[in-house]
Amino acid sequence: MVKFSKSSFKRFVLLVLLVITALLVAACGGNSAGKQAADQKAGDNSKQGNSDKIVLRLAHNQMPDQGYGLGVAKFVDLVKQKTNGKVEVQVFDQGKLGDERDVTEGLNLGTVDMAITSIGVMTNYNPELSAIVMPFIFRDYGHVEKVMESGVLNPALDKLQSKGMKALTIYAQGFRDVAMREKPIKSLADFKGLKIRIPAGEVYTETFKALGANPTPIPWGELYTSLQTKVVDGYENNPQVANQIKLYEVTKYLSLTNHIWEGGIVLIAKNKWDQLPADIQKAIQEAATESAKIQRDLIRKGDDKAIEVMKQNKMEVVTIDRASLITAVKPVYEQLGKKYGIEQLLKQIQEVK
């Protein structure tokens, strides 16, 4: 074994430190020189760091294999394919990064790059979007699809840019029904005084007030417990969405009201979007549009199966005279149509054939 005197050991340590430092400096210098050269070659792409992989963190609050998850899985694949693997979308589902409001705020804070947020929540950023969730505005799923393709929603969606978000497309949640714990809702009169959980948003509040109920906004993540502990009498949502968190375990009756078609806007932070090269923007936009078409079609076909699952879990399905509900919510059109200046947009949506 080699033996060092105290002073020669000190010199040896110093030498090792110097060599390590020199190697580190060389490595860093080399990297940045290489990067600079690549930057110059890439021209426009220098905005995103060129050869670097682009990672986009996307947050939503549904399951990976249901609801939004069906579209997101397709979106991730399409983005990878269309950008030759240059862009990777990392998904944080089931509300792992917070509820819809948290992740939407996160777009401006930089904690997420992309989010899927209910239109009801997005009306807080642009009230004109309320037109999409007005009660009974859509005749059926076919009408929804035609409106999505018509471009009539584009001006309202584009206005989100002034709030730091770019809307890429809209995924479906589907038509919503009403589910109750103890008493079925069979007619308009049955709504009277019932505490029904709604998502936060004026259209939902005014709609359920007009129906005679007591609308109660509660975050989605707290709904199961709120039903279990009888804080609310029921909730309203699409059966496919409700089954994701097994609400059939805490409710007994489903009334087929189909009162609101709800969707989630696929958003990307505007400052992130603006940094992306044009070819990457094009690929991401195409992936979003294509995945949305597939996702909306799957949701359109999924209600019957979801209602079957509810029945298998001992829920009773009740039909209801929708015409009386449609009449009851008419004042909401007058009130909010005027307040948000969306009379024209409501007409445009209704006129899409």
Please report, as ranges, the residues that interact with ligand PAF according to CB under 6 A: 61-62, 100, 118, 173, 199, 220, 237, 241, 262
User: What distances in angstroms separate CA 85 from CA 16, 49, 209, one per listed residue?
Assistant: 41, 15, 50
Q: Which is nearer to ligand PAF, 115 or 280 (CB)?
A: 115
Name the E strands within the chain. Answer: 54-59, 87-92, 114-118, 165-175, 177-180, 195-198, 214-217, 234-237, 253-255, 261-269, 316-318
The least CB distance from residue 295 to ligand PAF, in Å, is: 13
Measure the CA–CA gap between 145 and 120, rounded to whole angstroms: 19
Neighbours of 149 (CB within 10 A): 11
Q: Nearest residue by C-beta to ligand PAF?
A: 199
**Taking the alpha carbons of 87, 91, 97, 102 in that order, is the dihedral positive or negative?**
positive
Q: How far apart are the C-alpha atoms of 315 and 73, rounded to whole Å?
A: 31
Nearer to ligand PAF (CB atom), residue 164 or residue 199: 199
- Which is nearer to ligand PAF, 199 or 277 (by Cβ)? 199
In the complex with ligand PAF, the residue whose CB is nearer, 173 or 216, is 173
For ligand PAF, the closer of residues 87 and 232 by Cβ is 232
The CA-CA-CA angle for residues 263, 265, 270, to 5°, reads 175
Q: CB 68 → ligand PAF: shortest distance, Å? A: 7
- Are the CB atoms for 165 and 270 separated by under 8 Å? yes
Task: Tell me the helix, strand and coil percentages in the chain, rounded to 5.
Answer: 55, 15, 30
Q: Pick the closer one to ligand PAF by CB: 186 or 246.
A: 246
Q: Which is nearer to ligand PAF, 54 or 292 (CB)?
A: 292
Residue in 297, 46, 339, 101 with CA at minimum distance from that of residue 218: 101
Min dist. Cβ of residue 211 to ligand PAF (A) = 17
Question: Smallest distance, Å, CB 16 to ligand PAF?
Answer: 57
Nearest approach in angstroms of CB 323 to ligand PAF is 25
Evaluate whether 213 touches 185 at the Cβ level (below 8 Å).
no
Buried b (16+ CB within 10 A) or exposed e, 95-111: bebbbbebbbebbeeeb
Q: At closest approach, how far in Å is the CB of 197 from ligand PAF?
A: 8
